[in-house]
Amino acid sequence: MNKIVGFLLLCCTFFACSKADMGGNMPHFSEGTYSGTFQRQNLTSSAGSAITLNFSAGNWHGSSTINKYPALCEGTYMMTSSTISFVNTCTWAPDFDWSLILEGTYEMTSYGDTIVLSKQQNMNTIDIYKLKRM
């Protein structure tokens, strides 16, 4: 009987631990300035650009070395345990591919002081932001 009670307590303790407590892969994110690259990968190409994003109090703003690639400006963001959602508050002209606007929900992973944001645009195209905290 004591073995069963001990086993049940052990199971309860194990399942009560969160992913972060067990050293899981929950992204580590802190506000500040991040610098890195944007890359749109598809079946035919993999073009990229250098970018900077700043996160502060639920707001973000950013810049890119290539105009509108990606289309960064400013807005708000909200995080969950493994995603980050962007609202872009800028007005855009209809003269480029609006799927390049930093907007919507991105999967987020982290490796040390580097975060990786990714969003599947369609079956053949994925956008990847690889950013290191400055």
Please state the domain count of the chain.
1
- Is 41 part of a structural domain of the chain? yes
Q: What number is the average pLDDT over the span 74-95?
A: 96
pLDDT of 126 > 70? The answer is yes
pLDDT reported for residue 46 = 80
Write the CB contacts of 1 (distance below 8 Å, at least 6 apart in sequence).
none
- Is 1 part of a structural domain of the chain? no
pLDDT reported for residue 43 = 82
pLDDT digits (tens, 9 = 90+) for 9-65: 434 333 344 333 334 455 778 899 999 999 999 988 788 999 999 999 999 999 999
Q: Are 40 and 49 in contact (CB under 8 A)?
A: no
- Is 99 part of a structural domain of the chain? yes
| CA 43 to chain CA mean position, Å | 22
Instruction: Supply the CATH number for residue 54's domain.
Output: 2.40.128
pLDDT reported for residue 21 = 38
Expressed as residue numbers, the domain containing 101 is 27-133
Distance CA 114, CA 100 (A): 22
Choose among 56, 118, 53: nearest CA to 83.
118
- Is 44 part of a structural domain of the chain? yes
pLDDT reported for residue 5 = 40
Q: Are 72 and 102 in contact (CB under 8 A)?
A: yes
Q: What number is the average pLDDT over the span 95-104?
A: 96
pLDDT reported for residue 83 = 96
Distance CA 100, CA 71 (A): 5
- Is 51 part of a structural domain of the chain? yes
